[in-house]
Structure 1
Amino acid sequence: MAITRFYLFVNDLGTTVWRAAGKSLAEYARCPADLDGMAAFETLVAQYPDAHWHLLFDLLEEDYRIETIPHANPRDRRLMVERRLQQLYRESGYRSYAFQGREAEGRRDHRVLFTALTNPTPLDRWVMPLMQAGARIAAIHSVALLTSRYAIGAKAIPHKALIVSRQTGSGLRQTYIADGALRFSRLTTIDDDSLEALSDSLISEAARARQFLASLRALERNEAMQVVMLCSTEACAQLRARCPDSELIHYHFLDLVQVAHALGSVSDPGVAMAEPMWLRLIAKRAPPNQYATPAQRKPYLAWQIGRGLFVGGTLLLLGGLLAGAYLWQDSQALDRSISALDQRTATAEATYAANQADIKEGELSPTGMKHVVQSYRQLVEEWPALADGLSPITEIVNRYPMLDLDALVWMISSQPSAMPAGLLGATSSAPLPAAAPMPVEGAAAPPTGRYLIIGIRGQLIGYQLRYREALAIVDEIAQALQVRPDATVEKLQLPIDTRPEGTVDLGSTTGTASAGAPFTLKLTLPLNPSPAPQEETAL
């Protein structure tokens, strides 16, 4: 549900109510400071009990003091400021302070701006009905403090200038700013709304402000004061003609539409009053509270806490739902894995039960003995001892420190010409030749039966360009691998292709990228066949 927001502009003559509709802000009602206006305002407050209220005032009796306090830690500094604020404005609940930096010399004390509304009656007239109805007061702002906070954002405004704005029902608000810090502010009422009266008042008030600032030594004796007047487009040209510059006062007239755009706000063309710009600035940028007391903001703060708890609870609930969904999917996947494992276990148990002979303890039939012998023979053939083939390889690696093994694969096959898949699929430093393998001289022809085939691929580190020495070392390794008379060693790859039909690829960069001289050997060891089982005899 959308939140209803009202923005009040309070002056000594009454209040103007503005209502937010989406991103726009429009005037909603005007309530004069009399009994009828108060009654109409109380009716409006009762009509919208859940609305949020933002107040902006421009009143005469707003006081400003700039003092210094010694440098201390944040806690002590805050206590000193609050104590001094209580001493200065004991009888006013609308008080505030703002730090304006530190002194450039001496102890470099902190400059603090103390402000307060010394006569709270014009503001209490509208705040009390809100508090009695339990309305949510978000913040209370001052035109002078907003000017000092945000006017520096407009590049057309000098860093040291007397900014003059005109608000409905209040008069001319004059705020002097030096490097973004407020030095003084005053409000002058105007009885006549004509441009002649406005220009005359502007000239006279600028002269008084110049004299006052010179007495405070905020301006040098011969320094010109910059006066910036915020007004409508039509009034800019007319006021420029009526307010000529002097040696000590220079006038600048800025269009409210352009200033509002520079500050991130909006002002309607042709509007001469500045309060719409300030109200829209509050609605868009939500500046921090300046004057509302904790008791006045209590319903609004309670609503903020409740909304935070609701949002936090919603996020926590969504997080719980997401975590629950993830855990549920994980449990479903685990259940499927357990079901598949149970099926595999049941299949294995059924196969085991089908292959197990129904023999009682202490009994064994001739057929059962034959099955045991055949199973044993199958295990011997399929799981041979690899010590005879792998032990020489270990000795060779220890004997030749330049030997770097890239791959060592083996397999059991009934074909001595079979090639281990890992040996053919792996990437070597040089391609395997397409010709038939070259057997070692004097090696016996491989017999028939089952064979243990071991593939060795490696490099001779540092021998990539020493081909004669590399060929000799490969020959020595091949002779050393022939551990049995019936073993066969084949040279599948040599450091250099010495075949008569070989070719040299001058454009290949494979050899230069290798760290050593590559070679590939294949060792074939016949497996001793198990003795054939004897024919079953009748007992």
Structure 2
Amino acid sequence: MAIAKLILCASNHRLIAGVWYGTRLHFYETFENNDEGYDAFDRFIKENNNLNVYMIADAIEEEYRVESLPHTTGKARDELIGRKLNQFNRNNLFRTAQFISQDKDKRKDDNYLFVALNNADFLQGWMSVIQANLVPLVGLYLLPMISQYTVQQMKLMAPNILLCEHLSSGLRQTYLSNGRLRMSRLASLTDVKPSQKAYFYLVEIEKTRLYLISQRFITDQTELQLVLPSSDENSQVIGKSISQEQGMECRIVNSLAYAKNVNIAPELVAKLPELLHMQLLANGNIPDNLAPEQLTKSYRLNNVRQGINIATLVVGFLGLFIAGYHFWQATQHVDELARVASETQQQYQRYDAVAKDFPSTPIASAELKTAVEIAQNIQQYNQTPKSLMLILSSALEHVPEIGINRLHWLQTSNTSIDDTEKSVQETNHKSIVSNNGSKTNSRLTQVAFLNAELLNFGGDYRAALFSLNRFVNQLKLNPQVEQVVVLQEPVNVSSLANLQGSTLDENTSERTPAVFKLKIILKPTVETGQQP
């Protein structure tokens, strides 16, 4: 809600316009419902065209209807209410549905009060001025919808209340059930003399009571409490007269004291009672809106515009804050850099001062550096075949029929090395030359050549090949193994091999052993020039 707002109260005869700052009335003016009043109101609007407008309608021709609808939520509820509004008040521009309560039975139906203005001709002149000046209209509200806030704030707890208010437009009678509006009617006081006011009240209240009975709001036995807001002694006389004639409970409330409590001058309320309802609206007691969306479009666009402006300001301030923080941080970094540079220079000076007193060393610093680098290169060879032994042991547990005859283990950067003495010497020579260089990225890899055979071999070469494949697969399952190459199988399965042997071999006591040879390459773990 804006800090400053314009609140209007329109009746068949006049328009009351007041400007509020927050919840305090700044000033007000009245305009008659004629062409001169429209022109004066147009000038008034032009002077206050930047304010949000709230309009209260004090109409004679109003329609109230209570209906129960199935309990729904969201879009389905809006569609259901929209259909009911078109069904009940298709030809009325100003209409709404006010939620009353929810039934406590299993269905839990929602009870709504459908409200509409049957004749809004008295608003056309004022609405034309508002639309012509593009003033943002927040909404249109019926005066009796605001009167229910009066009953609630006065803590009038009777279940059936008939609120009788003496307004500039006439006698407004509002029936409330459990503090919620059910219906209201306005009777003109134009031709009523002061001496006839008590009788007029008595007749109109009886009409209202009969209407409530006909609409089944109450029964003949319902106790109806009459509430009369009082601003003079006449209300006391009227109240006593009604109590004696109708036998109704009549409660007189001090409207001027209540006006003071809601932050408006009592003398203003005594002059224009509608200002009390306008003050309640300014205090934030806003009922359901009857105005259609096309009349409140300017207000909604104005809200979007204000939202964009506020978001722009927030982003701008946030950007300035972030820029300021980064500037402060950069200043801190510059100061820290200057401090560290100063400390570094001081350390250099201290070092130079201390270095002057150092004894001379027989070994140059360059030679010491070379010795350290050589020690680091030697350190990378500090490897043992322990990891390879663990891998072989794990695989042999699954294939116990294999026995190892020979194991040749070495570290090399050439994984294509052969199991020959000449090849090993050439590879070692290349590794030494590489490691003596200033910079190298070669990796040392563990390579093993394994000579093994199948124990208790009975001549079944198919079983021998199966055992060999199992052994190779077990080695490959280890994550440290990069490659396993079968260099020699226990039987030559090549189609070019020569067949030898005799059918008598089955009975011979000596058999050719099922030997094979593998090359196992582990994944590299040490780089040349780095600590292992």
- Write the distance in 2 (CA, Å) between the matches of 1:266 and 1:82: 41
Letter in 1 for 2:98: A
Please tell me whether Structure 1 or Structure 2 has the larger radius of gyration of its CA atoms: 2
Give 1:304's aligned amino acid.
Answer: N
Gap change, CA 1:104 and 1:288, over 3 Å in 2: closer
When residues 26 and 93 of structure 1 are mapped into structure 2, their CA distance, relative to the original with a 3 A threshold, is same
Distance 2:170 2:122 in 1: 16
Q: Corresponding residue for 2:372?
A: none
1:316 aligns with 2:315: yes
Deviation at 1:150, TM superposition (A): 4.3
Contact 2:160 / 2:223 at 8 angstroms: preserved in 1?
A: no
Cα pair distance change 1:73/1:281, threshold 3 Å: closer
Instruction: Give the distance between the partners of 2:27 and 2:348, measured in 1 at CA.
Output: 86
| 1:239–1:301 Cα change, 3 Å | same
C-alpha displacement of 1:16: 2.4
Query: How is 1:506-525 mapped onto 2 (pairs within 5 angstroms)?
Result: none
Q: Does 1:190 align with 2:186?
A: no
Partner of 1:268: 267
Partner amino acid, structure 2, of 1:15: L
Q: Quick one: which amino acid aligns to residue 326 of structure 1?
A: Y
Please name the residue that 2:284 is paired with. Answer: 285
Q: Which moved more, 1:84-93 or 1:189-198?
A: 189-198
SS at match of 1:190: coil
Equivalence for 1:82: 82
Say which SS state the counterpart of residue 243 (structure 2) adopts: coil
Question: What are the within-5 Å matches in structure 2 for residues 362-377 of structure 1?
Answer: 367-368=360-361
Q: Find the counterpart in structure 2 of residue 243 from structure 1.
A: 242
Correspondence 1:6-21 to 2 at 5 A: 6-20=6-20
User: Shift of the alpha carbon at 1:262?
Assistant: 5.7
Question: SS in structure 2 opposite 1:191?
Answer: coil
Deviation of 1:355 (Å): 4.7
Instruction: Indicate the residue corresponding to 1:57 in structure 2.
Output: 57
Partner deviation per Cα, 1:496-527 (whole Å, 9 max, x = no partner): xxxxxxxxxxxxxxxxxxxxxxxxxxxxxxxx
What secondary structure sits across from 2:349 in the alignment?
helix
In structure 1, distance between residues paired with 2:31 and 2:40: 7
In structure 1, what is the equivalent of residue 208 of structure 2? 209
Q: How far 1:13 moved relative to its partner?
A: 1.4
Superposed displacement of residue 42, structure 1: 2.4
- Letter of the aligned partner of 1:181 in structure 2? R
Greater mean deviation of Cα atoms: 261-270 or 238-247: 261-270
The answer to whether the 8 Å contact 2:269/2:275 transfers is: no
8 A Cα contact 1:8 1:55, kept in partner: yes
Is 1:123 aligned with 2:123? yes
Q: What amino acid is the match of 1:85?
A: L
Asked if 1 retains the 8 angstrom alpha-carbon contact of 2:230 and 2:236, the reply is: no
Question: 8 Å contact 2:268–2:275 — kept in the other structure?
Answer: no
The aligned counterpart of 1:341 is 340
Query: CA 1:229 to 1:157, structure 2 compared with 1: closer, same or farther past 3 Å?
Result: farther
Report how far residue 97 of structure 1 moved.
0.8
> Contact between 1:236 and 1:255, CA under 8 Å: does it hold in 2?
no
Distance 1:248 1:328 in 2: 81
Kept after mapping to 2: 8 A contact 1:3/1:52: no
Distance in 1, Cα, partners of 2:26 & 2:193:
26
SS in 2 for 1:224: coil
Separation of aligned partners in 2, 1:235 and 1:285: 32
Distance 1:270 1:337 in 2: 70
Q: Which residue of 2 aligns with 1:200?
A: 199
Question: Post-superposition shift, 1:68?
Answer: 0.9
Percentage of identical aligned residues: 21
Report the alpha carbon displacement of residue 358 of structure 1 after superposing the two structures with TM.
Answer: 12
Counterpart of 2:43? 43
Structure 1 range deviating more: 69-78 or 177-186: 69-78
Look up the match of 1:306. 305
Aligned counterpart, 1:254: 253
Give the SS at the match of 1:287: coil
Q: 2:267 corresponds to which letter in structure 1?
A: D
Q: CA deviation at 1:59?
A: 0.8
Write out aligned runs for 1:418-497 (5 A). none
Change (3 A) 1:174 1:110: same
What letter corresponds to residue 133 of structure 2 in structure 1?
A
For residue 324 of structure 2, what is the amino acid of its counterpart? A
Amino acid at match of 1:114: F
Following the alignment from structure 2 to structure 1, what is the Cα–Cα distance between the partners of residues 235 and 308?
Answer: 51
**Counterpart position of 1:523:** none
Shift of 1:312: 2.7
Q: Report what 2:108 is aligned to.
A: 108
**Is the Cα–Cα contact under 8 Å of residues 357 and 368 in structure 1 kept in the other structure?**
no
Distance (whole Å) between structure 1 residues aligned to residue 108 and residue 94 of structure 2: 29
Question: How far apart are the structure 2 equivalents of 1:52 and 1:211?
Answer: 41
Q: Deviations over 1:445-474 (max 9, x none)?
A: xxxxxxxxxxxxxxxxxxxxxxxxxxxxxx
Distance change in 2, residues 1:236/1:150 (3 Å): closer
Query: How far off is 1:162 after superposition?
Result: 0.4
Q: Secondary structure at the match of 1:291?
A: coil
User: In structure 1, what is the Cα distance between the partners aligned to 2:261 and 2:220?
Assistant: 32
Describe the SS at the equivalent of 1:294: coil
- More displaced stretch, 193-202 vs 20-29: 20-29
RMSD: 3.1
**How many angstroms apart in 1 are the aligned matches of 2:38 and 2:80?**
39
Q: Is the 8 A contact 1:52 1:137 kept in 2?
A: yes
Q: TM-score, normalization: structure 2? A: 0.62
Kept in 2: contact 1:96–1:290 (CA 8 A): yes
- What is the distance in 2 between the residues matched to 1:31 and 1:247? 39
| Structure 1 CA distance for aligned equivalents of residues 293 and 268 of structure 2 | 38
Q: CA deviation at 1:229?
A: 1.4
Choose between structure 1 and 2 for higher RCO, CA contacts under 8 A separated by at least 6 residues. Answer: 2
The question of whether the paired residues in 1 share the 8 Å contact of 2:62 and 2:115 is answered with yes
- In structure 2, what residue type is equivalent to 1:62? E
Q: How does 1:224-243 map to 2 (within 5 A)?
A: 224-243=223-242
Q: Structure 2: which 5+ residue stretches go unaligned? A: 366-532
Aligned to 1:139: 139
CA distance in 2, matches of 1:287, 1:25: 17
Kindly tell me: are residues 73 and 30 of structure 1, through their superposed partners in 2, closer, same or farther at Cα, counting changes over 3 Å? closer
Specify whether residues 58 and 341 from structure 1 end up closer, same or farther in structure 2 by C-alpha distance, changes over 3 A only.
same
